[in-house]
Amino acid sequence: MSNTINFGIDLGTSNSLIARFDRGNVEVFRNPNGFKETLPSVVGFRNDRILVGDQARVYLQRDPKSVVSRFKRKMGTTETFKIKSLSSSKSPVELSAYVLKELKTFVQSGESVDSAVITIPASFDTVQSNATKEAGLQAGFKTVVLLQEPIAASLAYANKEKSVDLKNSQWLVYDLGGGTFDVALVKIQEGELTVVDHEGDNYLGGTDLDALIVERLVAPALEKMGAFTDLVDNMKSESGKYNRLWQTLLIQAELAKVELSTKTSAEIDLGTISDLTDDNGRSIDSLITITRSEFELIVKDAVDSTIDMMKKILTRNSLQSSDLQFVLMVGGSTYIPYVRKRVEEVMGIAVNTTVDPTNAIVIGAAYFSGTREKSKQAIDSRKPLSKLKIRASYNKSSQEKEETFSAKVEGDLAGLQYRISNEDGSYDSGLKKLTARINEDLPLREGAFNLFNFKVTDREGNPVLIDIDSIQIAQGRYSVAGQMLPEDISLVKDDLSIQDTRLEELFAKNSILPSRIKKTVEVGKTIVKGASDGVHIMVVEGPSNRHSSTNKPIGVLSITGEKISKDLIKGTDIDLTFEMSESRDLTVSAFVNGTGQEFSQVFTPKERNVSTQVLASEILLLETKIQAEIEDAAETNNKALASELENALSKVQDLIVNAGAISEDDVTDKKFQIEDQKRKLAQVIFELTSNKRLDQAKADYLETRSAVQQLVRESGNDRERHIVSEMFAREQSFLNSSTPEKILAVTKELNAIRGQILMRTPEFLQGMFQHLMQRRASMNDQIQATQLIENGRRAIDRDDVDTLRQINARLWDLMPATEKTSEEMRAYTGIV
């Protein structure tokens, strides 16, 4: 365990950050909710909750009696902030402590954050500095070491550019953040980094620039588009007619400003602002373009004021620009190219943008923390583990939009707080006082599993052990019969590569109803208008990793040539929607893109829907299958299997005769009987051959595996190596499964990677090229073929793999259709 402090904190006026030093590297932490590195330095007290950061910032200017910010500049004063809801006041120290405690929650590794280096502005005097230390102690830090911000930034630079020697130089640190500006003169005095002088403006930052964009560029543009009187006043005033527009435009302006840092123009699309009308009610929908030069013009005065402050420092210290090594740029607003350009051009000093402006200060603080030791107190202190007894009660499943979580708590509750948050990032109760009985209304996401965390912390923000795990509440409406879906529901599609059909899952077993899903499929073969042939949208019930023949048919929506208004060309999309009601009625709707027609049918579980046409083709398919299996069994000398299969075959052949005898509109139960018999036979076959298929799948996998393993080692890239080694790590689990389909899926993935790599391998591509060259006589366009082959030879000579790949593709396209894979097969469903 390290004895150095290791944690650095930038406690900023607008935003704060926390980082850690670990064996030479610095990691900046992110808020587990929202993943941002920065935490707004805002604290709010609303409805018995303590909110810190983004949650509080929303209410900032709107609820000044309950939400506070910018308390950093009041540190060390006796000024306090009246909090209406608490009927008491909070000091800047207490508020800063809340921010520090919240930053501690960014550290999720379980390690205790008991010491920190906290940064302070160069302008802070002793009283202000002590106040910062005090805030750190209140937040539970045993050791607090302070570091001036410009020095922290300089350390970040020095650690990044390790070879630079700053010993005999001095430089300026220019910090333009979200709401404040600071500039400091730094040099090394007696071996130590020291701030020699500083200037600043507490009320100049990025947010002011956003306001300038809206006021000086957007508002005038709007005034040209419509009738507006006193537009700016009406926007800025809280009760003004256009206040909502002001807020929306500020957000858009900030986004545009950021874009202008990398592009020379940005757009604000008024068309996305709903209900945008002028004073006469006329609607406005237009694009406002902001160019970089327009932006630079309006912010010039603000930027020049910062330069004036820099000049003051030089004058005061009798320095010339040439005496300074560089100007180090810190703070989000220094991303703006104009700021950098203007500073360099007016001051005549090189601008240094090596460090990341947003987190340079916290990174410098973290480096510093790696060099300072904790106080003995921090190392020795071992807190006694306090355990609380909590008995929680809540509904584990609900049909409401909210559920109440209640708990009875026993133990020493002094100074303790609790906090409940949703793991998906959508809810955070904020810190609330832990009392003997607590109640919290938790909002639920409809039709979903809701997972909440329940955490307890002490006065200093340290976690307290409790024995509650996560709170799990499932929200959903169950079917009227009180049951969920008992089996998978799947769509049947043709799979040309295996000359068979396969299932695509629509609704999984145990799904909560009602449910709805959309799928788009392609027409597998052209259906001519008027033909009796068609595509069949077939839905079955049963395990989705099986086959359509073994599962129960729920219904078929047939789109035949007789129904369509024009030819349905192969490759056309059909948009399908499947809706299952609580009582398990299935509505299948199909929109045929080629003809613009919509077909729909409802299948209820009480009526079974069997299409004799589909039934007949399924039985034939089954016969073919069994015959193939019998041949296979004979080859492998599996007499027992062969005889069982022969048995099944004769039964299937009887069925074919029976099925042939029924007409399409038969109203007796005959077709249902035949369907049942077919299904039972299919299940028998499935079981009989499952072992064989399993062994085959395993063998295929192992063969592919060794081929791919070598290939990836020789020619794979990092990503491919990673994916493949991950697959091999999982090997045991799917090889031991009893479903060949799982294994086949992985083999398919491996083959895809193999194909990917081969397509980059020169030897493979050359071999393919040779093969195609030999076939040139049969190609469709001889002139093109000759040209391509000529280009191909040249590509090989200069080792141009990419061109060779393209040439191979084009040569392949010239091959006559029959030479490519023959995809002629009897389509079953007609959709792929």
Partner 1 sequence: MMPQPNDLVPKWVLGLLNNLFEIEKKIEMSSEHSNLKRNVDRMKELLADQKVFFENPMGERFSETRTDLEATITGTGTDDLRVIDVIKPIIRFGDRALSRVVQKGIVVVESTQNQSEKGESNV
Does 399 help bind partner 1 (rule: CB under 8 A)?
Answer: no
Under the binding rule (CB under 8 A), the answer on residue 430 touching partner 1 is yes
470 near partner 1, judged by CB under 8 A: no
Q: Which residue has the tokens 């909710």?
A: 33
Verify binding: residue 63, partner 1, rule CB under 8 A.
yes
By CB under 8 A, name the one of 79, 161, 230, 269 that touches partner 1.
Answer: 269
Output DSSP code: residue 465.
B
Give the binding range for partner 1 (CB under 8 A) out of 141-149, 245-253, 406-414, 479-487: 245-253
Q: Which of 374, 377, 383 is nearest to 459 (CA)?
A: 383
Q: Return the closest-CA partner of residue 210 out of 173, 260, 174.
A: 260
Q: Which of 168, 274, 439, 738 binds partner 1 (CB under 8 A)?
A: 274
Determine the Cα–Cα distance for residues 636 and 645; give it in Å rounded to an integer: 14
- Among 430, 419, 424, 417, CA closest to 444: 424
Q: Which helix (H) or strand (E) holds 500?
A: strand 500-507
**Beta carbon of residue 544, minimum distance to partner 1 (angstroms, whole number):** 16
Among positions 76-135, residues that touch partner 1 (CB under 8 A) are: 108-109
Give whichever of 141 and 242 is closer to partner 1, judged by the CB atom.
242
In the list 16, 115, 180, 248, the residue contacting partner 1 (rule: CB under 8 A) is 248
Stretch that binds partner 1, among 48-56, 174-182, 213-221, 802-810 (CB under 8 A): 48-56
Quote the CA–CA distance of 336 and 299 in Å, as a whole number.
Answer: 11
In this chain, which stretch among 187-195, 447-455, 609-617, 703-711 interacts with partner 1, using CB under 8 A?
447-455
Q: Does 520 bind partner 1 (CB under 8 A)?
A: yes
For partner 1, which stretch binds (CB under 8 A), given 57-65, 212-220, 256-264, 823-831? Answer: 57-65
**Minimum CB distance to partner 1, residue 173 (Å):** 30
* Positive/negative CA dihedral, 330, 336, 341, 343: negative
- Closest contact distance (angstroms) between CB of 229 and partner 1 is 13
Q: In angstroms, give the least distance from the CB of 109 to partner 1.
A: 8
Q: How crowded is the C-beta side of 490, counted as CA atoms within 13 Å?
A: 22
Q: Does 51 bind partner 1 (CB under 8 A)?
A: yes
Concatenate the DSSP letters of all residues of 338-398 into one string.
Answer: HHHHHHHHHH---EE--S-TTTHHHHHHHHHHTTSBPPHHHHH------B-EEEEE--SEE
User: Closer to partner 1 at the Cβ: 273 or 309?
Assistant: 273
Which residues partner with 600 through β-bridges?
A: 589
Q: Sheet holding 437-443: strands in order across?
A: 389-393, 402-410, 437-443
* Under rule CB under 8 A, residue 449 binds partner 1: yes
Q: Which amino acid is at 732?
A: Q
Stretch that binds partner 1, among 143-151, 154-162, 410-418, 419-427 (CB under 8 A): 419-427
Q: Which amino acid is located at 692 in the chain?
A: K
Task: Indicate which single residue of 94, 575, 579, 623 sits in contact with partner 1 (rule: CB under 8 A).
Answer: 575
Six token digits for residue 35: 């993943």
Q: Give me the least distance between CB of 440 and partner 1, in Å please.
A: 9
Give the C-alpha separation, 340 to 327, whole Å: 9
Least Å from the CB of residue 172 to partner 1: 34
519 binds partner 1 (CB under 8 A): yes
Query: Residue 426, interface with partner 1 (CB under 8 A)?
Result: yes
Question: Which of 721, 779, 780 has the alpha carbon at shortest distance from 750?
Answer: 721
Among residues 55, 159, 352, 549, the one that binds partner 1 under rule CB under 8 A:
55
Given the complex with partner 1, which of 237 and 627 has the nearer CB atom? 237
56 binds partner 1 (CB under 8 A): yes
Q: Which of 252, 417, 704, 808 binds partner 1 (CB under 8 A)?
A: 252
Give the number of residues in contact with partner 1, rule: CB under 8 A.
Answer: 59
Q: Least Å distance between CB 198 and partner 1?
A: 33
Strand 397-398 to 432-433 pairing: unpaired
Give 515 or 747: the residue with its C-beta nearer to partner 1.
Answer: 515
Shortest distance in whole angstroms from residue 193 CB to partner 1: 32
Q: Is 59 in the site for partner 1 (CB under 8 A)?
A: yes
Alpha carbons 618 and 668: distance in angstroms, whole number: 20
Smallest separation, CB 577 to partner 1 (Å): 10
By CB atoms closer than 10 A (0-12, 13-18, 19+), residue 60 is middle
Position 208 contacts partner 1 (CB under 8 A): no
Q: Rounded to whole angstroms, how far apart are CA atoms 672 and 677? A: 9
E-assigned strands of 763-831? none
Measured from the CB atom, the residue of 406 and 426 that comes closer to partner 1 is: 426
760 binds partner 1 (CB under 8 A): no
Q: How many CA atoms lie within 13 A of 60 on its CB side?
A: 14
Give strand ranges (E) for 545-641. 552-560, 573-580, 586-592, 597-603
Residue 243 binds partner 1 (CB under 8 A)? yes
Contact between 241 and partner 1 by CB under 8 A: the answer reads: yes
Binding mask 477-506 for partner 1 (x = CB under 8 A): ------------------------------
CB 442, min distance to partner 1, A: 9
Closest CA to 479 of 512, 501, 507: 512
Q: Is 452 left (phi over 0), alpha (psi -120 to 50) or beta?
A: beta
Query: In sequence order, what are the residues at sequence separation of 6 or more whose Cβ sits closer than 8 angstroms to the Cβ of residue 786?
Result: 776
Cis peptide before 463 (omega within 30 of 0): no
Distance CA 616, CA 532 (A): 15
Least distance to partner 1 from the beta carbon of 247, Å? Answer: 5
Total Cβ atoms within 10 A of residue 726:
9
Stretch that binds partner 1, among 286-294, 516-524, 598-606, 710-718 (CB under 8 A): 516-524
- Choose the binding region for partner 1 from 49-57, 296-304, 627-635, 770-778 (rule: CB under 8 A): 49-57
Least distance in angstroms from the C-beta of 58 to partner 1: 5
Q: For residues 183 and 202, what is the distance between their CA atoms, to the nearest angstrom?
A: 11
> 409 has which bridge partners?
390
Report, in Å, the least distance between residue 361 CB and partner 1. 22
Site string for partner 1, 26-45 (x = CB under 8 A): ----x-xxxx--------x-
Report the interface residues with partner 1, using CB under 8 A: 30, 32-35, 44, 46-47, 49, 51, 54-56, 58-59, 62-63, 108-109, 238-239, 241-248, 250-252, 269, 271-277, 421, 423-430, 443, 447-449, 512, 518-520, 575, 591
